[in-house]
Structure 1
Amino acid sequence: MKQQILVIGAGFGGVWSALSAARQLDLNDRQDVQISVLAPQAELHIRPRFYEADVHEMKAELHALFDSTGVKFVQGTADRIDPVGKTVEYVEAGGTRQSLAYDRLVLATGSHVLRPNLEGVAEHAFDVDTLQAAARLEAHLHALAGQPDSIARNTVVVCGGGFTGIETATEMPHRLRAVLGEEANVRVIVVERGAKIGAAFGEGISPSIAQASEAMSIEWCLGATVAAVDAGGVTLDDGRRIESHTVIWTVGFRASPLTAQIPGERDPLGRLYVDHNLKVVGQPDIYAAGDTAYAATDDLGHFAAMSCQHAISLGRHAGNNVAAELIGAPTRPYSQPKYVTCLDLGEWGAVYTEGWDRQVKLIKDEAKALKRQINSVWIYPPAADRTSALAAADPSIPVA
């Protein structure tokens, strides 16, 4: 009977874990281990692009890729992990409960936006956290054209001025005018609790965010938080009212709740502490990759962010190491010292930085060209060709 490596999740961390494990087995000519991926769909949803239009196109089919690399796909949603019995229970699309046994497990179930328990947020706010949620927002934007012209119809409020909030807000003027017409008096407002535009990004990158915002007439409500959301807009904590039919929540992310089913230490975002091989600390048979892993990227105190930049490399290392450890081959400690930021700023362009201190290297059109390359090519999975797909899963390949 074959030994079983089970990967839960088909996001960036999950896909690259499976491919890298297959590569390690191939290098050692091992046919006695089965790699399985458990996920709701055999699709990689390109989450970093969900702020864009035509979101239904932001996915990559995985059946052919898995078939070409000997990875078995199991369709279902995992909801219970038993680390002692080494089983995972899941629910099939039709509602039937099933279970899978594993010898080694890779948890790569990602993260989700954390909606607060504020009045009206659950009922009235949109988000771009999942393909379905982003598609719901897109359908809503198209439906605005059928509403009477009004301030509320023409106004979008983005709650949160972080990475997702900025990319969503700066893309919105173009998206709104594509629906309402070039002459429409559109208004985009970012509600941000910080005292300065892009303060979390540092002094190097924040001027570009401010310039882009000014060029596209994007307004910022700084030092403010949302107190309530309703069908007609938002009320801020200082009592101010903004009329809007489109409120988008982008604040706060937390690791998959499945992390709570694995005994171990977690960071404030719910990510599991892992060792240098990405094995969950205290768990002999479980690894974590992507947004479920609290992993040191270097020896200087930096830890992986919840981003595809880190998830791809984490997946390559977790998959390599889970297979290597199972068959007795050398592992490769995770290391990703280079960190970059490429922030899309709508029609103004983009800004690209290098280093954890975010030193600006490219802005406007040059950075925008790089961002398009990243979003349309670099973050997509490889073609369904066994040789090239396994070669692409080498953990030594730098992601940034």
Structure 2
Amino acid sequence: MKRIVVLGGGFAGLWSAIGAARRLDEEGIGPDRVRVTLVERNDFHAIRVRNYEDDLDATTVPLSTVLDPVGVERIRGEATAIDADRRIVQVRREGEEVELRYDRLVYALGSRLWRPPIPGLGEHGFDIDTYEGAKRLQAHLRGLAATPVIGSVMGEEARAVIAEALDALGVKVRTGVRVAAVDSEGVALEDGSRIDASTVVWCAGMRAHALGASLPGAKDELGRIEVDAFMRVRGVPDLFAAG
């Protein structure tokens, strides 16, 4: 039996798996001959572009409701390594590493928010890059709304620092200066100045998933993989990249 493996349950990975299953069905090829397998660490597809919404639960779709009816196998786990020569993906699943062999591989792990090693950013910074991150920010903001301090200064002094923000809706924007450190009371800038804030939201650009760096072939400065017009990774047989 042959196997098509898709890494990632975002838009690119989900549609790749569904598209493969549909084409196999059209050709009359059943799962006893070719199996389509999607590897994703979550049980749901997160509609990432809606992570700003108040009702975050409405932005997720259980993968089982989409994949089960079309016969796509789902493995809950995270790809940790790819051996393109041996056609094997290493997957961390329920605390253990397993090998998953493939005949065709679709690499659709997408991008991640770029988080440089700024002191305090991981502990005190917020983002909406993922569903989990958006939930964390939402809980934080709701907690602030319940505090009397924020209630008394909301009009003038309570500010959120949006790193690399757009100048919109009257949001004050600082440009030409880098963040040096983040703490629970705001941001220290490299020019020695400081911006006090109850909430620091980091939105300073994206980078391709780090696993792509281990694959053969050219990448750009953001880590994106070079592909041809058919989304095939150049120089690597039976490996496709999307998303």
Matching residue of 2:79: 78
Is residue 237 from structure 1 mapped to residue 184 from structure 2 by the alignment? Answer: no
Residue aligning to 2:106: 106
The residue type equivalent to 2:56 in the other structure is V
Q: d(CA) in 2 for partners of 1:287 and 1:128?
A: 28
RMSD over aligned CA atoms reads 1.7
Report the equivalent of 2:45: 44
Which residue type is aligned with residue 160 of structure 2?
Answer: V
Match of 1:18, SS state, is helix
What residue in structure 1 maps to residue 161 of structure 2?
157
What's the secondary structure of 1:78's corresponding residue? strand
| Distance (whole Å) between structure 1 residues aligned to residue 185 and residue 13 of structure 2 | 40
Deviations 1:203-239 (A, max 9, x none): xxxxxx4xxx2xxx32222333322211111122333
Contact 1:56/1:135 (<8 A) preserved = no
Match of 2:208 in 1: 255
Instruction: Report the counterpart of residue 2 of structure 2 in structure 1.
Output: 3
Q: Which residue number corresponds to residue 224 of structure 2? A: 271
Q: Is the 1:90–1:97 contact (alpha carbons within 8 Å) kept by the matching residues of 2?
A: yes
> Where does 1:304-315 land on structure 2 (aligned, <5 Å)?
none
Residue 16 of structure 2 is matched in structure 1 by 17
Other structure's SS at 1:138 match: helix
CA distance in 1, matches of 2:42, 2:113: 20
Q: Secondary structure at the match of 2:148?
A: coil
Question: For 1:273, what is the secondary structure of its paired residue?
Answer: coil
1:88-137 Cα deviation digits (max 9, x unpaired): 11112x31222211001000111111111222212211111111111100
Q: For 1:75-224, list aligned pairs within 5 A.
A: 75-92=76-93, 94-150=94-150, 151=153, 154-161=158-165, 166=166, 197=167, 209=168, 213=169, 217-224=170-177
Distance 1:64 1:138 in 2: 27
CA distance in 1, matches of 2:174, 2:211: 36
Aligned to 1:30: 29
Is the contact between residue 10 and residue 42 of structure 1 (CA under 8 Å) also seen in structure 2? no
* Alignment of 1:246 onto 2:199: yes
Q: Which amino acid aligns with 1:156?
A: A
Correspondence for 1:286: 239
1:374 is matched with none
Tell me the alpha carbon deviations over residues 361-384 of structure 1, each in whole angstroms, 9 at most, x when there is no partner: xxxxxxxxxxxxxxxxxxxxxxxx
Q: Give the length in aligned residue pairs.
A: 237
Q: C-alpha offsets along residues 274-321 of structure 1, whole Å, 9 cap, x if unaligned?
A: 01110100001110010xxxxxxxxxxxxxxxxxxxxxxxxxxxxxxx
The SS at the match of 2:173 is: strand
Percent pairwise identity: 40
SS of equivalent to 2:6: strand
CA-CA distance at 1:248 after TM superposition: 0.4
* Aligned amino acid, residue 141 of structure 1: L
Runs of at least 5 residues in structure 2 that lack an aligned partner in the other structure? none
Deviation at 1:9, TM superposition (A): 0.6
Letter in 2 for 1:256: H
The structure whose residues are more often helix, as a share, is: 1
- Whether contact under 8 Å (1:37, 1:72) holds in the other structure is yes
For the residues of structure 2 that align with 1:147 and 1:88, how far apart are their CA atoms?
48
TM-score by length of 1: 0.57
Q: Is the Cα contact below 8 Å between 1:88 and 1:101 reproduced in 2?
A: yes
C-alpha separation between the residues in 2 aligned to 1:276 and 1:40? 29
8 Å CA contact 1:105, 1:287 repeated in 2 = yes
User: Could you tell me how far apart the structure 2 residues matched to 1:76 and 1:103 are?
Assistant: 19
Equivalent AA in structure 2 for residue 17 of structure 1: S
What CA distance in whole angstroms lies between the structure 2 residues aligned with 1:267 and 1:99?
29
TM-superposed deviation, 1:242:
1.4
Task: Give the 5 Å matches for 1:374-393.
Answer: none
State the Cα deviation string for residues 168-227 of structure 1 (Å, max 9, x = none): xxxxxxxxxxxxxxxxxxxxxxxxxxxxx4xxxxxxxxxxx4xxx2xxx32222333322
Residue aligned with 1:133, SS: helix
Question: TM-score, normalized by length of structure 2?
Answer: 0.91
